[in-house]
Structure 1
Amino acid sequence: MMTSFFDQFMSPTLLGLPLIIPAMLTPLIILSKPTKQWLTNRLTTLQSWALLNITKQLFTPINATGQKWALLLVTLMLFLLTMNLLGLLPHTFTPTTQLSLNMALAVPMWLATVLLGLRNQPTTSLGHLLPEGTPTMLIPPLIIIETISLFIRPLALGVRLTANLTAGHLLIQLISTAVLVLMTMMPTLALLTLTVLLLLTLLEVAVAMIQAYVFVLLLTLYLQENT
């Protein structure tokens, strides 16, 4: 039994083994794979159509060097999307509410884009630290500010995803607890609260999808700057 609303974000264990690893492997089971036949079913056709359109939208502004990252980033988006949506099911654990997991995804991807830019176009990459036409007196503080903003990017990626999902789960649990309490005392108010809960659940489904897309979108923008 939970003693706190934040207990739902603790990684569950079974026989002393953390269950976060099986949860992270779930997308491999859920996502359907295209068959070797000419005709595919509706699910794989819809999935392929969605992935094709998302990939076009994300990577059209990026040159050929950056488009090599398409498979990696689209796979990352599907992983985040599946984890976020599965976490909305009752009695489930959401790995993407853990800051450690999100930072483990954000930092290597961000660092890879920075190193790619320093290797392929070092002058342009370093030029982002100082806007053109900056007065001489403002050069040192601007370089410091831009450097800090550069290193804050992975932190912002991880914290944004964690905070949005955590806040949504807490709101759903708070409102659902209120529905259970009000059900015997004030049934009419409980019905109204239940309606709010259903609307909030729909909103959280949209947030789960949007946050996965935004995470990958920001990585593509960082990639565009360094290619």
Structure 2
Amino acid sequence: MMLSLFDQFMSPTLMGISLMALALSLPWILFPTPSSRWLNNRLLATQGRFINRFIQQLLSPLSMGSHKWAVLLTSLMIFLITLNMFGLLPYTFTPTTQLSLNLGLAFPLWLATVIIGFRNQPTRTLGHLLPEGTPGPLIPVLIIIETISLLIRTLALGVRLTANLTAGHLLIQLLTTAAFVLLGTMPAVAIFTSTVLMLLTLLETAVAMIQAYVFVLLLSLYLQENV
């Protein structure tokens, strides 16, 4: 029984061929592309207003050097939100529940911020590894600790997104199974479980959007430290 709970997190296959590439490309296919007309329809206008608002909210506290990442961070935000939201639909697969995918997104972007820091301000970037006024005998230990904490940022980005989505999906499946099992024996408890399930679904919808925003927000903070 416990193994069947985790079947939803397995990569989908068709005739032995992985469909991960299709799941990752589906969000971009469904989004409408801007037209060449002077006035867009309501969907495109709403989409443009959301993107402009998000860029303003994300980049307003950052320096001008970080504004070059606006397109990349906005695209990543929309991509993660779409994948997370599609995973709440029945008979769908959530690619962002895979730790390998999240680490594959987090590590290159985090590494790019570190490389930018070493290129633009190498002294200040290296200075983060050793606090000022550190006693001599503690210098090697603190350098190792700060280096490990710097490397753990990538793991924290990927694990946070994976853990939150996985826990929410598992709770939804457990409550759904409980509601179906209790429907014939204890209808009142089944109705109460279904009510809790609906509230949990709303919470998971909010978590899907918030976790995508937190992922991009932490990347922007790492970028701000190195620009």
Is this a same-fold pair by TM over 0.5? yes
Aligned to 1:221: 221
1:155 aligns with 2:155: yes
Relative to the length of structure 2, the TM-score reads 0.96
1:68 aligns with 2:68: yes
| Distance in structure 2 (CA, Å) of the matches to 1:3 and 1:54 | 40
SS of the equivalent of 2:6 reads: helix
| Distance in structure 2 (CA, Å) of the matches to 1:123 and 1:37 | 50
Deviations 1:104-147 (A, max 9, x none): 00000000100111011101111111223334343332222111
> Quick check: 18-27 or 137-146, which moved more?
137-146
Shift of 1:3: 5.4
SS of the equivalent of 2:93 reads: coil
Aligned to 1:28: 28
1:199 aligns with 2:202: no
1:132 aligns with 2:132: yes
Letter in 2 for 1:55: I
SS of the equivalent of 1:129 reads: coil
Shift of 1:4: 1.4
Deviations 1:131-188 (A, max 9, x none): 2333434333222211110000001100111111000000000000000001111111
Counterparts of 1:18-167 in structure 2 under 5 Å?
Answer: 18-167=18-167
| Distance in structure 2 (CA, Å) of the matches to 1:59 and 1:136 | 40
Aligned residues: 227
| Distance in structure 1 (CA, Å) of the matches to 2:151 and 2:11 | 28
Relative to the length of structure 1, the TM-score reads 0.96
Shift of 1:51: 1.1
Letter in 2 for 1:65: G
